[in-house]
Amino acid sequence: MTTHININTPEYWNHVYRTEWERGSVDSSNYHRDYGPIHEAIVELTPPGSDVLDVACGPGILCRKIKMHVPGTKVVGVDFSSYAIERNVERDRSAGVEYRCIDVRSSLVTLTRQFDVVLMCEIIEHLDNPMSVVRDGMSLLKDGGLFIASCPHADEVPDPEHVREWDHESMFQLLSPYSSSITFMHFPPPYFHAWMLAHLRKGR
């Protein structure tokens, strides 16, 4: 029997992000974690004046885009990579984005505030227990608040960092306890395969 080992640990991602920063990838115009049209859709969905939580924010690209392009937002990015959070704080000191080092797999509930928008973008495919992380994220979302998740759409997962694949049915099952209506959007390549975004208003 083969035992699956999830390589997604703080140590692993500290190494990944350190390597990308030192190579200059993070600040380049073609950084592969800048999910252009997906980020644009999220920016468009985010209401002005929102209090936004970006779960597993990584290098903070989406946090900065929302802060820059959606008026009056307060943006908090959390990630378990202490290296990424330290670099984000250093770079975005004047941008008004708040960053905190939190293990999103177990400690989201240590945040003691409620948000208008909670984002989980490019994270659920990395999680052994996505249901508990989504539940914790939803507990931080105000009633009627906006929840957005994005990930690769049903395809053979080509990345050892990804522990499972997601399609409409599995995403719907994950999110349906929290709303009676879930909207899906799709994004074709240039990414290595199709991407999916789901959003809802927290209802029950």
92, two tokens: 């975005």
What is residue 8's predicted lDDT score, i.e. its pLDDT? 95
Pick the range with the lowest mean pLDDT from 6-10, 32-36, 53-57.
32-36
Write down how long the chain is: 204
pLDDT bin (cut points 50, 70, 90) of residue 193 is confident
User: What is the widest separation between alpha-carbon atoms in the chain?
Assistant: 53
Q: What is the CATH number of domain 34-201?
A: 3.40.50.150
pLDDT tens digit sequence for 123-177 = 999 999 999 999 999 999 999 999 999 998 876 566 889 898 899 999 999 999 9
Residue with tokens 């957005």: 148
Residue 5: other Cβ atoms inside 10 A: 8
Residue with tokens 């945040």: 111
* Mean pLDDT computed over 83-94: 94
State what percent of residues in the chain have pLDDT above 90.
80
Q: How far apart are CA 43 and CA 84, in angstroms?
A: 22
Distance separating the N- and C-terminal Cα atoms of the chain = 40
Q: Which residues pair with 184 in a beta bridge?
A: 198
To the nearest 10 degrees (0 to 180), the angle between helices 10-22 and 82-91 is 40
- Give the pLDDT confidence score for residue 3 in this predicted structure: 52
Cβ proximity of 62 and 42 under 8 Å:
yes
The amino acid at residue 180 is S
Tell me the CA distances in angstroms from 198 to 13, 78, 142, 153, 160, one per residue in order. 25, 20, 18, 11, 24
Quote the pLDDT of residue 200.
Answer: 98
Is the pLDDT score of 52 beyond 80?
yes
**Which band of pLDDT confidence, cut at 50, 70 and 90, is reported for residue 5?**
confident
- For the chain, the domains span 34-201
Of 5 and 125, the structure prediction assigns the larger pLDDT to 125
Q: 28 exposed, middle or buried (CB, 10 Å; 0-12, 13-18, 19+)?
A: exposed
- Tell whether the model's pLDDT for residue 51 goes beyond 80: yes
Instruction: Give the pLDDT confidence score for residue 158 in this predicted structure.
Output: 67
pTM given for the model? 0.94
Query: Which pLDDT score is estimated for 2?
Result: 43
Q: Residue 194: is its pLDDT beyond 90?
A: no
Helices assigned H by DSSP within 29-162: 36-45, 61-69, 82-91, 130-139
